[in-house]
Amino acid sequence: MSSECLFCRIVAGELPSTAVHETETTFAFRDLHPQAPTHILIVPRAHYTDAVDLAKNEPALLGDLTLAAGAVAEAEGLAESGYRLVFNTGADAGQTVFHVHLHLLGGAQLGHFGT
């Protein structure tokens, strides 16, 4: 846990968030600036910089994040209609918080990603 890291502080309850799902290893909360009708961030409780850092050091946690995303999608009523899961990785992708987070976006027909 880093006192400098925004998402470590959210996981620790030091900063407020709207939590939607919690497990022993993961924490999911609503994005402050939603980019879709449903926009939820799923993070590991432990601090890793990005998806590759996580995969190198704790690969099972990637599975935990994906399973948590599936549970969130089910709870949000998105399991049938579908949803997008995204890891922004590094500056060109627009990663702004360097505690790995899986974006779950849904609730509308999403444009194809790219530019």
Tell which one of 29, 61, 83, 100 touches ligand 5GP (CB under 6 A).
29
Letter for the amino acid at 11? V
C-beta separation of 55 from 62 below 8 A: yes
Q: Give Cβ neighbours of residue 25 (< 8 Å, ≥ 6 apart).
A: 44, 45, 46, 61, 64
Q: Does residue 32 bind ligand 5GP (CB under 6 A)?
A: yes
Q: Is 101 a catalytic residue?
A: yes
The yes or no reply on residue 115 touching ligand 5GP (CB under 6 A) is: no
Applying CB under 6 A, which residues contact ligand 5GP?
Answer: 6, 17, 29-33, 41, 88, 94-97
